[in-house]
Chain A
Amino acid sequence: MNKNLRPLLVSAGGMLAALALWQVTATGPMAGGPLPSAAATFVQLAGLVANEAFWAALAETLVISLAGLTSAAVVGVVTGVLIGSFEPVRYATLAVLEFLKPIPPIVILPLVVLIFGPTTQMSWFLVFFGCVLPIIMQTVSGVHDADPVTLDTARSYGLGRTEILARVTLPSAMPFIGTAMRVAAPAALVITVVAGLLGGGPGLGLSIYQAQAAGDYPVLYAYVVVLGVLGLSFQGASRLAERRLLHWHASYREVLPA
């Protein structure tokens, strides 16, 4: 009991020490400067929670992230299955996909803003573009990874193409798709914030930009704290969803709680 308690106490102490350091730095050596005190930030945070505009911005951020993520998942899995099922197509697209993959969506942000303007569609498209490529590529590898013996068995049992796809190929590609989705979910939130901050799309990113432009630093920090919590929940939720949805797969079954 005592042994389990100590890490928790030290953790809480670490958090408190960091907050105290922040408060002391802000009120002591950097008083009157651009660094707001921890107390001021949390007062603003409480103010935000009571503010309707904040909840609207939060809702917009969530809707854009999830809409972008969902559309990217649907398009990505379908395209991935198509590419992965036809060997020549896989070879033809390999170099193109490999070239595009390490290019983050922020690169095409100016073009997207030019076409769509600072709108919800702009943010959505950017999220879609950023998430769809990794999902396609993982789906292709997953489809390609299907056990040839199982495929042959299914074929000799007389299963049709669609049945093989639904019963063999897709289930065996699931862990790949799951991993892609777990990585894509937090990325969707990050891209939504980028689209708001740099492209003027609606949501929390725009709120941060406005707070910074107005020099309203306590509000700026409060928004960043909110985003930290939101980012953590996205990471946690996607990890949990992956484990819940894929618990039946061999690569997850062996994971026992330590």
Chain B
Amino acid sequence: MNRKLTNWALGVGTPFLLVAAWWMFSENSTNTFFPPLGMILERFQALWLFEHFESDVMLSLRNLVVGYALATVIGVGLGFVTALMPVARWALDPLIHFLRGIPPVALVPIFISLIGFGIEMRLVSITLAAMFPTLIATVDGIRSVDSTLKDVSSVYRLTRAEKLAQVYLPAAGPQIASGMQVSLQVAFVVMIASEMLGSSQGIGAMTLLAQQSFMTSDMWAGILLLGVIGFGANLVFEVIKNKVLAWYVGSKRLARS
């Protein structure tokens, strides 16, 4: 019991200790690369909380959310079509796998050449790059649905829509969720990359600009904000996933014990 408490205290305490150590060691830092943490936080507040909140922070977040939502809808939808229609699967499989092999960020220059540097380019880049993990996970998830389950739903004469919504979707759910989690990571990376490549708005662009003009504290503030967003987005996803897939998490625990 006592040991458990110590471990728990260690888990909670270490992050605070690390931040405190960062604060103390950087306090009188004259190193241009590592400015004092106090200064970084000051710049963080000045930059992101007021001045650029609407114009850059919200803009980036909106791109991320809209692009990711589109990617999920298209990915799951296309995944269902591809998995359930053999002809579509044969025709599209090699193409999908080839496109998936391309590093997502390498697609950004292509969209810049096609649509320019605007918001549309960023949205299209995020959507298309983030679509593939979800799409592939959906196809794999549906194809590995237990054949007994399929037979049973046929015997019960479920309609096509019932089968899709009540058999295939839940059965493939856990795998689709893993794909969606990877998609979220990709969407986040492409959001930053699409802003860093020659745009002047957005958190990524501001951070790179600060670096290029040697405003180190501003750059650190950008890195902090991006880090928090990356962590926060994943956390929100985990919470929702555990809610939606509670039955699955429960059944897995039951099977293990």
Residues of chain A having any CB pair with chain B under 8 Å:
6-8, 10-11, 13-15, 17-18, 34-35, 87-88, 91-96, 99, 102-104, 106-111, 113-115, 189-190, 193-194, 197-198, 205, 208-209, 211-212, 215, 217, 220-221, 223-224, 227-232, 235
Bound complex: CA A17 to CA B220 (Å): 48
Minimal Cβ-Cβ distance residue in B for A107: B226
Question: Are B7's CB and A194's CB within 8 A?
Answer: no
- Do B91 and A10 touch (CB < 8 A)? yes
List the A residue with the shortest CB-CB distance to B188.
Answer: A104
B87 touches A197 (CB 8 A): no
The interface on chain B, measured as residues whose beta carbon lies within 8 A of the other chain's beta carbons, has a size of 60
**In the assembled complex, B208 has its CB within 8 A of some CB on chain A:** yes
What's the dominant secondary structure at chain B's contact region?
helix
Chain A residue with minimal CB distance to B7? A91
Please determine whether A230 and B101 come into contact, CB atoms closer than 8 angstroms.
yes
B230 touches A103 (CB 8 A): yes
Q: Which residues of B contact A (CB under 8 A)?
A: 6-8, 10-15, 18, 33, 86-87, 90-95, 97-110, 112-114, 185, 188-189, 192-193, 196-197, 207-208, 210-211, 214, 216, 219-220, 222-223, 226-227, 230-231, 233-235
User: B56 CB to closest chain A CB, in angstroms?
Assistant: 15
Taking a contact as CB atoms under 8 Å apart, the answer to whether B106 and A96 are in contact is: no
In the bound complex, how far is the Cα of B6 from the Cα of A41, in angstroms? 62
The residue that B101 contacts in the complex, of A11, A17, A93, A231, with Cβ under 8 A, is: A231
Give 28 A-B contacts (CB < 8 Å), ordered by A residue: A8-B90, A11-B90, A11-B91, A11-B93, A14-B91, A87-B7, A93-B14, A95-B11, A95-B12, A99-B15, A102-B233, A106-B105, A106-B193, A107-B223, A108-B223, A110-B208, A194-B189, A194-B193, A197-B105, A197-B106, A197-B193, A209-B109, A212-B112, A224-B109, A227-B106, A228-B99, A230-B101, A231-B102
What is the bound-complex CA distance between A110 and B208, given in angstroms? 6
Complexed CA–CA distance, A93 and B13 (Å): 10
- 5 shortest interchain CB distances as A-B pairs: A14-B91, A231-B101, A102-B234, A232-B101, A110-B211
Would you call B185 and A102 a contact (CB within 8 A)?
yes
Shortest CB-to-CB span from B140 to chain A, Å, is: 14
* Contacting residues, chain A, for B223 (C-beta < 8 A): 107-108, 110-111
Q: Inside 8 A of A96's CB, which chain B residues have their CB?
A: 14-15, 18
Compute how far the CA of A92 lies from the CA of B227 in the bound complex, rounded to whole angstroms.
20
Instruction: Give chain B residues whose Cβ lies under 8 Å from the Cβ of A99.
Output: 15, 231
Bound CA span A17–B98, Å: 15
Task: Say yes or no: A224 contacts B90, CB within 8 Å.
Answer: no
Beyond the given pairs A102-B230, A106-B189, 8 more chain A to chain B contacts, judged by CB atoms under 8 angstroms and listed by A's residue number, are A13-B91, A17-B91, A107-B223, A193-B103, A197-B193, A220-B110, A227-B106, A232-B101
Q: Which residues of A contact B188 (CB under 8 A)?
A: 104
Given contacts A115-B33, A224-B102, A232-B101, contact A91 B11 (CB under 8 A): yes
C-alpha gap A86/B99 in the complex (Å): 43
User: Please, how many angstroms separate the alpha-carbon atoms of A7 and B220 in the complex?
Assistant: 53
- What B residues does A114 contact at CB under 8 A? 33, 211, 214, 216, 219
Question: Contacts A87-B7, A190-B103; is A224 near B110 (CB within 8 Å)?
Answer: yes
Least CB distance from B54 to A in Å reads 22
Distance A221 CA – B207 CA, assembled complex (angstroms)? 28
B216 to chain A, nearest CB (A): 7
Contact residues in A for B110 (Cβ distance below 8 Å)? 220-221, 224
